[in-house]
Structure 1
Amino acid sequence: MKKFGLYAFALVALTACSAGEEAPLETLTVAATAVPHAEILDVVKPLLAKNGVKLEVQVYKDYAQPNDRVASKLVDVNYFQTAPFLEAYNREHGTRLTPVIGVHIEPLGAYSQRYESLKALPVGAVVAIPNEPSNNSRALILLHHAGVIELRDSDNPLALPGDVIANPRKLVLREYDSERLPELLERVDLAVINTNYALEAGLDPIRDALTLERRESPYVNFLVARPDNVRDPKVLKLAAALTRPEVKVFIQTRYRGAVLPAF
């Protein structure tokens, strides 16, 4: 899937209304996870209101409903996922949900309440990882780069546990829904947790993670629409607002490196 943002169209749409024009607000619904997505969307609400769009944010705890809701046309767009995750969803469901623009990166991290470093992990340590396609792969790639396992191809964004070719510490990899991983920390030796759930649980990825994805992570979080509304002026105005300088400053100051702007 190509990373295209329709950025030029979005900028035109955002500035289409002159200061002297007033028009009734049109509603745009967006499905998002709470942190950081809904928080970032709150920043752009007043920007959109000035340009004729009332943004209604529906917050979801899991990673399944936001895509289902957009595909079913119950919600206009969503903002919570990476391109590999979207590719896997489209392939599995026969949909054609489409990335509009990349907004931020959330480096995935590995956390432990029992050990202070990955080197301290014992033989047979239980490691909890996400069970969703692409997030599962990200966890494996993270552990590969950290040197605790070896993958057949660490550049494969959809690597599977069966692609592990070396596991010298005989780590026991157990897969769970991503939203459950923070609560499992006290029951496992290590958990690989998506940053949005880590932040919701009060974890500081920069301080608490034993290892984080590299800052050049390709897993950008996208605003996503359907083919029938990807060029809707309301969607393009949201895309432009999400990549304004004040949003970049908010991401940098609010999350202090745990979330990174992608623009």
Structure 2
Amino acid sequence: MRKHVISAVSAAIALGLGLTACGSGSDSGSGDDDALVVGATAVPAGEVLSYIKQDLAEKAGLDLEIREFTDYVLPNTALQEGSLDANLYQNQPFLDDFNKSKGTDLVSVVKPYLPPMGVYSKKVKDVTELADGATVAVPNDVTNEGRALKLLASKGVITLKDGAGTTASPEDITANPKHLKFKELEPAQLPRSLDDVAAAVINNNYAQDAGLSPATDAILLESAKDNPYANLLAVKKGNEDDPRVQKLAKLLTSPEVKKFIEDKYKGSVLPVTSG
């Protein structure tokens, strides 16, 4: 069943299970001399932050601590509760839905890159080759499911009603000529579903975690043009001007990080020229 980004299970109970710390560190502080504790999914956010920590942070006078998470809920819960100073993993529609659903007040500081969502398949080489009645797996949270359906609609596989926004659902489909069936799964489970479905629409980080290359393995990949899904550096409202946050924001949009993204991901992650 389609669901909002908030789990019914208490995030406070799960917090200790959902993350692993990269390097040692304590709870974050508020001074310029304290480490900036940033939550991230492993790929690409964790890798981008690790590059900054190893190659750029010291020169910029930034002490950076990275904590990796394996899901999309706990990084925001931890940020709101104060055990993180910032996080890097989500897009604006997801953040807006999280704030609305949970009553949090998290805000964007800068949007450094786009991890394009893609359609993957072991059965066909183009989405137009999907058989009549084929099953397509999609993410089961509100914004990622809407994003997946919009990607399929961009190729004409389905048609969505006029005005269907970032929270589009299967109920918004007005034309489905191939009579596709949609299987809603937790985003992290989507790569493992490829043996059982005709295709799956998979978030970039989970695709790369599973050894898939979005640039070469996706049979349909999002375009960067007018794309609202760039990943953002988020903080709790009021902390946007924290000097440590501003240092990280500047590094995330630096020429060095742009080159790192281009060289490492070769089109599977796309740098954004402005925040």
Residue aligning to 2:194 = 185
Map residues 143-222 of structure 1 onto 2, 5 A cutoff.
143-153=152-162, 156-216=165-225, 217-222=227-232
Residue aligning to 1:77 = 86
- Check whether the contact 2:93–2:228 (CA below 8 A) recurs between aligned residues: no
Residue aligning to 2:38 = 30
Task: Choose which of 110, 115, 123 in structure 2 pairs with 1:106.
Answer: 115
Q: How many residues in Structure 1 have an aligned counterpart in Structure 2? A: 241
Mapped to 2, the partners of 1:133 and 1:220 lie a distance apart of 17
Q: Letter of the aligned partner of 1:170 in structure 2?
A: H
Unaligned runs of 5+ in 2: 1-31
Task: Choose which of 224, 232, 236 in structure 2 pairs with 1:226.
Answer: 236
Mapped to 2, the partners of 1:230 and 1:39 lie a distance apart of 23
Give CA-to-partner distance per residue, 1:159-201, whole Å, 9 cap, x none.
1221111111111111111111111111111100011111111
Residue aligning to 2:257 = 247
- Check whether the contact 1:124–1:172 (CA below 8 A) recurs between aligned residues: yes
Structure 1 residues 123, 193: CA separation in 2 closer, same or farther (over 3 Å shift)? same
- Check whether the contact 2:164–2:172 (CA below 8 A) recurs between aligned residues: no
Residue aligning to 1:261 = 271
Unaligned runs of 5+ in 1: 1-23
Under a length normalisation based on structure 2, what TM-score does the superposition of the two structures give?
Answer: 0.84
How far did residue 48 of structure 1 move? Answer: 2.2
Mapped to 2, the partners of 1:141 and 1:36 lie a distance apart of 23
Task: Choose which of 139, 145, 148 in structure 2 pairs with 1:136.
Answer: 145
- Check whether the contact 2:124–2:130 (CA below 8 A) recurs between aligned residues: yes
Mapped to 2, the partners of 1:243 and 1:154 lie a distance apart of 33
Residue aligning to 1:51 = 60
How far did residue 155 of structure 1 move? Answer: 6.0
Q: Letter of the aligned partner of 2:229 in structure 1?
A: Y
Q: Which has the higher contact order (CA 8 A, sep 6+)?
A: 1
Give CA-to-partner distance per residue, 1:92-134, whole Å, 9 cap, x none.
0111100000110011100001122222211111110011121
Q: Secondary structure at the match of 1:134?
A: helix
Mapped to 2, the partners of 1:235 and 1:119 lie a distance apart of 44
Under a length normalisation based on structure 1, what TM-score does the superposition of the two structures give?
Answer: 0.88
Residue aligning to 1:20 = none
Residue aligning to 2:21 = none
Task: Choose which of 94, 98, 104 in structure 2 pairs with 1:89.
Answer: 98
How far did residue 237 of structure 1 move? Answer: 0.7
Mapped to 1, the partners of 2:196 and 2:98 lie a distance apart of 30
Residue aligning to 1:66 = 75
- Check whether the contact 2:107–2:234 (CA below 8 A) recurs between aligned residues: yes
